Chain A
C-alpha cells in the first residue's frame, strides 16, 4: 500500500520522455552503423525520426505551445514521402542486384 502510494506520487516529467527519446535515437544510430541490409537501415532511420517526434511532443507539453505538435505532423508527412521514394530506390537496386548489401551500393556514386 505504501509502495503504491509512493509510486503514484512520482510524476513523469518531460525529462523522462527526453531521456527515453535519446535512448531510442542512440539505438537507431547504432543500427544504421551496424546493419548492412538497406531495408533495415531504413527502419533504423524511422526509429530516429520517431525519437525526434517524441522530443517535440514532450517539449510542446512542457512549454504549453501546440506548435511542437504541428511540427511533428509535418515531420510525419515528410517521413512518409521519404519512405516512398527510398523504397522505390531500394526496389530498383534490388531488382538489378538481388540481396545487395550496403557494400554493394558503392556503384551509386556513378
Chain B
C-alpha cells in the first residue's frame, strides 16, 4: 500500500517540480508548485508526520502560494516569459550538467550510507513514550519536543516573524515626500 502512495505522490512531486522549471507562464509555474507541495504533504502523511502534513498544506499551499499568486496578479507580470531567450549560450547545458552531477553525487552518498549502522540516538523518554502511543501522538510528541527542548528557538521564531512583518511593511510602502531615503 505504501508503495502505491509513494509512486503516486512521487510522480506528483516530480511532475510539479518539472512544471515549475519548464512552464513559461508564472501563474502556471505557481500552480505546478501547488502540485509539488501537495505531493510532499502526502509523503509526510505516509511517513506518519501528520502534523507537518497539515502545516504543509496550510502554510505552503495556503499562504505562500497565495502570496506568490497575489504578487503575480498585483504587479501584472503575468505574461509568459520567452524561454527562447538565452543570454549565455553555455548556461543551460552547464546548468543541466551541474544538476545531474549534484544528483548523482547525492544518490551515491545515499546508496553508500544505506547499509550504514543507524546511529544510536536515544530519544528523550517523553518522546519515546509518545512515539509508540496512540494516533494523536504525533502532535503531542512534536509539542513536547518544541516546547521543552527547543523553547528558546520557538521564542526567537516569533521575534523573527515580527521583524519580517515590519521589514515588509517598510519595503512595500511608497516613500512619502519628507522621507530622505
B71/A91 in contact, CB under 8 A: yes
Residues of A within 8 A of B146 (CB): 70, 73
Q: Cβ of B47: which chain A residues have Cβ within 8 Å of it? A: 17, 57-58, 61
- Structural contact, B157 and A30, CB atoms closer than 8 A: no
Residue of A nearest to B76 (CB): A98
Known: A64-B121, A88-B168. A27 touches B49 (CB 8 A): no
Verify A24–B111 contact, CB threshold 8 A.
no
| Known contacts A15-B114, A42-B68, A63-B119; A25/B20 CB under 8 A | no
Report yes or no: A46 in contact with B55, Cβ–Cβ below 8 A: no
Q: Is B2 an interface residue (CB 8 A)?
A: yes
Check A43/B20 contact, CB under 8 A, given A73-B146, A92-B171, A98-B75. yes
Interchain CB contact under 8 A, B157 and A77: yes
Q: Are B68 and A77 in contact (CB under 8 A)?
A: no
Chain B interface SS verdict (over half): helix
Category for how many chain B residues contact A: 35 or more
Cβ contact within 8 Å between B68 and A87 = yes
- Which residues of chain B are near A80, meaning CB under 8 Å? 59, 63-64, 161
Chain B contact residues, CB within 8 Å of chain A: 1-4, 6, 10, 13-14, 17-18, 20-21, 26, 29-30, 33, 36-37, 40, 43-44, 46-49, 51-52, 55-56, 59-60, 63-64, 67-68, 71-72, 74-77, 79, 81, 85, 87, 91-92, 94-96, 98-100, 102-103, 106-107, 110-111, 114, 118-119, 121, 123, 127-128, 130-131, 138, 141-142, 144-146, 149-150, 153-154, 157, 160-161, 163-165, 167-168, 171-172
Give 7 CB contacts A-B under 8 Å.
A15-B114, A22-B110, A57-B47, A57-B49, A61-B47, A83-B67, A98-B77
